[in-house]
Structure formats: structure tokens, C-alpha cells
Structure 1
Amino acid sequence: MSGLIHTNVRSSIMSQNSRSISGFGGPELDILTDAELVKLVNDLKEQINILGIENEILEKTIMRLEPSLMHGVYQAFEYATKMSSNTSLQVGSFIKNQASKFGLIDTFISPSRMLTSPSRVSTKRVDSAPKLGGTVVFGSGPRINVLERAELVSVEMDVLVANLNKIRNKGAKQHALLKAQLEEIGMRVSDIEKANKMFHQEVLVEGWDKIAQRIPAEIWIRFMTEWVKISDSQIGKLRLRTSTLNTQYSKLKGQIKVKAELSESLRPVDFEKLKIENSQCLKLIDHKLQQLGELKKMTGDANLNLTIHKKAMMEQNSYLAKVQSTIKNKEDQTVELDNERDLIQIQADILAQRLNEIRKVRMKYQVPNVMDYVKVKWVVTDLKHAIKMLDNRKHIQQIALTSINRKLQTMSTIAAKSDIAAKSETSYKKE
């Protein structure tokens, strides 16, 4: 219910309403054109919306500052409604319909009557108007200007923003709590599923005895024992983690409490002291930054020297690697040369032995006489001629032997045939 209105807009709205109501069905409404009437209705709607917002702000302000004042407002509203219905039935019904439609009933209630009892509304006005934030809301005092309205609106906006922040923080905490609960439920579900799979695999599948057609009790007891051990270990870990978190929570809570107490006990002197300490810290930071710059310069020079020495070291390492590879090649060549030297030494020993033998043979060898050589050569020639003659004679004798053998073979063949013929004749004769 919007039960309060501003005094500065009351007179204009009342004059317009009285003009429209008093001229209901009269000559003034007949004088207005359709466009003017539509414009008047639109203006009234806009003013009603504005007044509704202002009434809502004022009502919230009163409820926030002094809620007991709203009791008199409600009574004044009821009394004004009864009085308006008794004065004129037609006008009252029209006002009631329009008020129920556009919230216009509040515009016909005098602010001086809102905080009075129903018995004193017709006789007195309230002269002393209560002030809300330095502004007068009703009575014969000064009206509320635009700045005071803006002040009320800003105060209500600050209150709404503060409430909204509280609700937002509460919603964030609730959201975090629900998220944590969902994570906990997810962990429980995963643990239950894992336990179910383990139970199904170890007890129902692997523990099934095909011969007895049942699950032995030992498997079930062993599974439960192992599961209890695993659960105890997990519970111990969770208890340790919970105790750690509780310790951290109590520590953080104590720090927050100390900070809150310090914030309550702070004075301007503390801020001045803090400002002096901050200035000293800034000077120290500048000094440290200067030292840091110098250290960076020194570090840059050191890095440059390090790079130069590193480059020289890399060159030395490359030269050392080349020297080491050369030494290794020379060693390999030395081993090969040693092997070749051994082989050459063996061959030299063999050749030296042969040379010694040749020398021995040469020392023992004597050159014969020429005539003796000629005689020996003549004897050798005669022997060769004799050997050749003997070979020819042997060849001739072999030919003669071959012909004699052929003749003997022929003769033996003929004799064999004659013997066979004689044997056949004798056997024929006997028969």
C-alpha cells in the first residue's frame, strides 16, 4: 500500500483531479477535445506512476526509521476512504475505481491527517511535522524540494544496494555450500560405485565356488575385513585433514577477529603513524630499488663476462675435443703400427734365418773344374742317348709282345672251339 505523498505535488494533482471529477459529465469535459483528453489522461498516468514511486520510497524510509508511524497512516487511509464514500456516492465510486486502477487514492489524502487519529482528523492538523533526514514530509511546514527527494532516493538506493550485496554474499555462501555438498555427494557416489564393482568382482565373480555352487563365507569375511581396513585408513586421513582444516579455520578466524578489533580501535593518530611508516617504507623501497638497479647492472656485467668466458670455454672445449679425437686416432694408428711392426719383425726373423742358411750353403759350396764339368756333361749326354735307345727298343719289344699276345689269344680261341666241337661229337655218339 502506498500511503504517503509529497506535499509539493499534492495541490497540482488535486486541482487536476477536482477539475476532471467536478467536470465529469459537465461542460468542462465537453470543451476538451479528444487529443487534449488523451494527453490529460497520459499526464495523469505519468504523475500517478511518479507519485507511486515517491510514496514507495517514503514508505520504505518511514518503515526503516520509525515503523510505528505507519499505524496512523493506515488508520488515516481507512478513515479517508469512508469519508469519501459518504460525501458523494458517484464521485466516491469514480475515485475508488480510478484509485484502485492507478493507485490514485493516496493523492486525495491530506498529509496532515495521515499521522493523526481518526477522531481528530476533522478538527485539527498536525503542526509539528517529523523530519526524516532533514526534510519535512507533511503539515504546514516547508515542502520537499528536488534535492531532498534525490537525497531520499540515494539513501534508499544505498540501502537496497547494501541489502542486495548481503543477499548476494549469502547466495554465494549458499552456492559454495551446495557446491561442496554436491562434490561430497559425488565423492560418496564414486566410492559406493567403486565398492560395488569391487564387491561384485571379488565376491560374486571370483569368489563363486563352481563345485559347491555357492560363495564361501571366508571370502565374504576376508573382503569385509579388507574393506574395513581400507575404510579405517581413509577415515584416519580424513580426520587428519579435518583437524588441519579446523586449525587453519580457527587461526584465520582469530586473525579476522584481531583485525576487526584493530579496525574498531583505530584512531586518526594511527593513520598518521601508518602514513609515516608507509613513507619510511617507500623510502626504503626506493633505496632497495636503487640497489636493485645497481645489482642489475652488476649482474649484466657479470653475465657479459660470463658469456665471453663461456664462449672462450666452448672454443677451448671444441679444441680439446679435437685434440682428444686426434690423440685417439694416433693411439689407434700406434696400435696398428705396433701390430705391423710385430709382423715385420716375424718376417724379418724368417728372412734372417733363410739368409743364414743361404750363407751357410754358400760357405760350403765350391765351384768344380771346367774339364770335369765337360766330362760329366759328355757322360750325361751319352747316358741320355743310351736311355733313348733303350726306350726305343723297349717300345719295339712292347709292340712285338702285343702282336704275340694277340696271336696266342686267337690260337686259344680256336683251340677252345675245337674242344667244344669234339665234346659235342662224343656226346652225340654216346647217344
Structure 2
Amino acid sequence: MADSESLDATSVQEQQEDPLADLTDEQLQNLVLECRSQNFVLDNETSMFEKFLKRVEPNMMLTPSAAPTPSVSVQDTRIMRKRSKSKGGGVDKHLKLTAEQKCDIAQREIEELREEIEKLKEDSEKVLDTYRAIMEEADMRFAEIKKAYYEFERDIVKGASNPRTGKVVSEKVSRYFEDKLRQRDTLIEKLRLKNSTLKVQKKKLQLQLKQKEEMGEVLHEVDFQQLKIENSQYLEKIDERNQDLLRLKLMAGNTLQVLNTYKKKLHTLTMESDRLKSEISSRNDLLYRIDAETEQVEVERATAEKLNRKLRQQLDDYKVPEVVEYVREKADLYELNKTVKSWERKVEIAEMALNTHRKTWYQLKLASQQHNPWGMETVN
């Protein structure tokens, strides 16, 4: 009974001391997310620090603490939680790393990672070089085998067979293999000489390198760091130049687009200009013809005006005759018309008589020709 009362009292006291009791669900969720992000950062820092300790001093690694046994009572765990809350701040103050220490550890880890990456790159390059050399050797061996197969097929299978029996001559086969062995020995000798020459060159280079190391001309770590810094500066400059080049390329592209637009406009305007030129030339021709016609019309107008003036002058100078004279002239005209008609009638009668006389003459001529069949002419 006393235990239950003590537990209730402790639970009430904890509820009074717990600051999370008054928070809403959304605030608790935000608090949980924030704690998770902080825990993620702390986990990364802890793992980095463990790697650093393993690399620097492996003996200083602490063994993980044992988990609480299930025999511990609930009240004891609550009491330990309260103590940890009361003492946690002091422990964290003593055990937390400073920002400089964290930066130093992170910098060392970055350098280690870079060294590992460089080492992996070197190892991978060596492996790739080995594979390339193996592939080249395999290609060379395949080419040699193919060439040897072709030569054996040409010289032995086809060239060394007896045409009568169809069998291969053994002397040619043995001579062929002796030649191949001799060529192989010659190649081995050449490679041996080349190997010895390369060994001599290697010794010379090692001697030169040793002399440079003794004279202090060999690059050290500081020089490499300086070269890395200069390389990074040059890379930054190259990036700036690339950005400038990209910007200039964009400007050139825009300029090219504007140039193409103006070229299209120029082409359109040139075509319009050609059309206008042809139209102007046609209009000029039309104007020239109109001018010529105008000159001709002016000449005709001057002639017409001159004739008009002459006719007007004649009209002004004309005098109408008397009526009696007009009647007399009209009567004379009537008499003359009657005379003309009578003469025309007489002419018609004379023409009819002439036609009659011609017919009679033609008949007489035919009759005379019938009486003189030999074509002799009669004396009229």
C-alpha cells in the first residue's frame, strides 16, 4: 500500500516537473523532428570521432556500456533518469568537443578520405594498366597465332604436300619448325637486349633522382601543397573563363539570331527594292511613251489648230450667193444630170450594138475558119 502511494506521489511530481505536458501535438511533432535532426548530426559527429580515434589511438576506444538489466525496478530507473537530468548538463559541458577540435577532426578526415581516394585511383589505374597490358598481349598473341596459322596453312598444308601422293613432306615440316624456332630465338635475343637497355636507362634515372634528392631539387609535401593551391586557383580562373566563354557563346548565339533576323529583313527589302526598281523602270518606259505621245499629240494639235484657223478664216471670208443665182445653178445642175443620163443611155445602147457586132464577127470568123481548114487567111 505504501509502495503504491509513493509511486502515485512520484508520478504526480513528475507530471508537475515535466515541461512537455503543456505542449500541443504539433509542437511535440516539431520537437521530435528537431531532436531527430540533432541526433542525426550527433551520430555523424560520433562516427567521425570514432574513426579518428581508431586511426590515431585504437587503445583509447571506450567499450560500450552495458544495457540496464531487467531486474532494475521502475522506481530505480526513474531515480537514475532524474539524476542523469540533473548531472547531464555538467557531463556534457566536460565531454563536448569545441568547434576548433571538430573542424580539425573533420579536416583530418577529409585529408584521409582524399588520400584514400587518391590511393584507390592509383590502384585502379594500376589495375586498368594491367588489364590494358593483358589485353594488348592477348591481341598480339591472337595476331601472332592467326599469322602462324595462315603461314602454316600456306607453307605446310598446301605448299608442302606431294601432288602425286597428297601427303605432307616431312623435310619441309621440320625445316618450317626450325625456321620458326630460329625466328623465336632471334626475337628473344632482341627482347633481352631491349630489356638490358631499359635496365640501364632505369639505373641512370634512379641515379639522377638520387642526385636531385641530395641537391634538394626534389619536390616535397609543401611544394605539392603549393602546387595544389595554384592548381585550384588556376581551376577557378578556368571556371571563370569558361563562364565568360559560355556567356560570350550565349551572346554570340543571340547576336547570330539577331543577324539572321536582319538578314531575312535585308533579303525581303532587297526583293522589294528589286521589285520597285523593275516597277520604276516600267513606269519610266511608260512615261517616255507618254511623253512621245504627248509630243505627237501636241504636233497634231498644232496642225489641227492651224487647219481650224484656216477653216475659220475661210468661213469668215465665205460669202453666200444670191437666191436667183442658186436657183439658176440648181437648174443648170438638173439639166446637166439629164444630159449625163441621156449620154449614159446612149453609151449603153452603143455597147449593146457593139456586143451584137462582136458576136456577128465571131460567127463569121468561125465560119471562115471552117471553109479554110488549112488555116489560110482570107484577104479582107
Instruction: Name the TM-score class by shorter chain.
Output: 0.3 to 0.5
With structure 2 as the length reference, what TM-score do the two structures score?
Answer: 0.45
Q: TM-score, normalised by structure 1?
A: 0.40
Q: Which has the higher contact order (CA 8 A, sep 6+)?
A: 1
